[in-house]
Amino acid sequence: MNAKATTQYDERAAVTGTDEKAVSGGKSIKSVYVYEAPVRIWHWINVLAITTLCITGYFIGSPLPTMPGEATNVFVMGYIRAAHFIAGYVMAIGLVVRAYWAVVGNHHARELFTIPIFSSAYWGEVWAMFKWYHFLSQRPNRYVGHNPLARLAMFGLFLTTAVFMICTGFAMYGEGAQMGSWAERAFGWVIPLMGQSQDVHTWHHMGMWLIIFFILMHVYAAVREDIMGRQSVISTMVSGYRTFKD
Ligand code: HEM
Ligand code: HEM
């Protein structure tokens, strides 16, 4: 392959994730290092934070009707809210660090933050994966980074909702932290934008169900791909290496 063809090949691979050169270049190449440690560590910390946020958030929205014991000795809702706010900080700071890693990390670290909307090759691969997930094709393609459909969901469903949850969450947090607090100054504008405080609560609550929808699809797809796909998936988010089965 001449130099120009190689460059075009690399560019296509970076956009679509189909790096045939990396997986079929030689029999000896079976594994490719994809997700660097900060991406993997962030993923699993983020899973813990979001799980905590969903459980505690649900109870903030639908508190237990009654608690046994003397009211002054019971601080359950206080602990639930404290856990929510700590996990909220972990999620928000984690996303900022993850965004920094998208700048300094490898090109797979950037996939979460960008969608190559003008690339027909990318949309072709999205369609191919759509058919594979809907049992309309016999065989999936092989991808080194995220598969293109997963990338669309991670950007369009997870990232945008996560940013929305952070903005609305800290807007409400700023109300409790009072006028002049950093949260009120940075995110206070969200409340009049949505109407009033209760509207922010409602939209923040709806955001939770959108994130839960993403998690259901995401975990189902990860387990299904691990079993039916042509490459390792869950272990890749642990070790960083994508191993090809064929
Ligand atoms: C709260 C739950 C979860 C959320 C919000 C979440 C979110 C994400 C996000 C945003 C990515 C993209 C990572 C990046 O590019 O930096 C990702 C990748 C990934 N997640 Fe999760 N995740 C969750 C739970 C899980 C669970 C329980 C599993 C395992 C069964 C899992 C397996 C994976 C795998 C294997 C990848 C990489 C997929 C690939 O190689 O293309 N995730 N997840
Ligand atoms: C995936 C992320 C998150 C989920 C699923 C989530 C979920 C929820 C839910 C369901 C509620 C109850 C809303 C209602 O019905 O009134 C809530 C309230 C709240 N959340 Fe979150 N949240 C998330 C992120 C955050 C973040 C990042 C912060 C920032 C600190 C935050 C701060 C708050 C605050 C201040 C409240 C109101 C507490 C109260 O009124 O007692 N949330 N959250």
Residue scoring higher pLDDT (50 or 3):
50
Closest CA to 96 of 177, 163, 168: 163
Q: Give, using CA atoms, the residue closest to atom 42 of ligand 2.
A: 169
Give the pLDDT band (50/70/90) at residue 67: confident
Output the CA–CA distances (angstroms, integers) from residue 170 to 42, 76, 142, 177, 200, in the order listed. Answer: 21, 22, 40, 10, 10
**Closest C-alpha among 3, 9, 38, 240 to residue 121:** 9
Q: What is the average pLDDT across 6-23? A: 61
Supply the pLDDT for residue 21.
Answer: 63
Closest atom of ligand 1 relative to the 145 alpha carbon: 41
Ligand 2 surroundings by CB, under 6 angstroms: 50, 53-54, 57-58, 60-61, 81, 84-85, 88, 91-92, 165-166, 169-170, 172-173, 201, 204-205, 208, 211
Q: Where are the beta strands (DSSP E) in the chain?
A: 31-33, 241-243
Q: What percent of the chain has pLDDT over 70?
A: 88
Question: For the whole model, what pTM was predicted?
Answer: 0.90
24 pLDDT tier (thresholds 50, 70, 90): low
Query: With 50 as the cut, is the pLDDT of residue 6 above it?
Result: no
Average pLDDT over residues 102-119: 96
- 33-243 under CATH 1.20.950.20, yes or no: yes
DSSP SS3 for 231: strand
Q: What is the mean pLDDT of residues 56-62?
A: 97
Give tens-digit pLDDT for 185-222: 999 999 999 999 999 999 999 999 999 999 999 999 99
Look-up: residue for tokens 């910390």? 45
Q: Which atom of ligand 2 is nearest to the CA of 161?
A: 1
Residues with Cβ within 8 Å of residue 237, at least 6 apart in sequence: 35, 40, 43, 44, 222
223 vs 28, which has greater pLDDT? 223
d(CA 241, CA 23): 12
221 in the Ramachandran plot: left (φ > 0), alpha (ψ -120 to 50) or beta?
alpha
Q: How far is the CA of 44 from the centre of ligand 1 (A)?
A: 8
Ligand 1, pocket-test mutation among 35, 46, 47, 241, most atoms within 8 A of CB: 47
pLDDT in tens, 29-51: 589 999 999 999 999 999 999 99
Q: Are 56 and 84 in contact (CB under 8 A)?
A: yes
- Residue spans of the domains in the chain: they are 33-243
Q: Is 126 within 8 Å of 152 (Cβ atoms)? A: yes
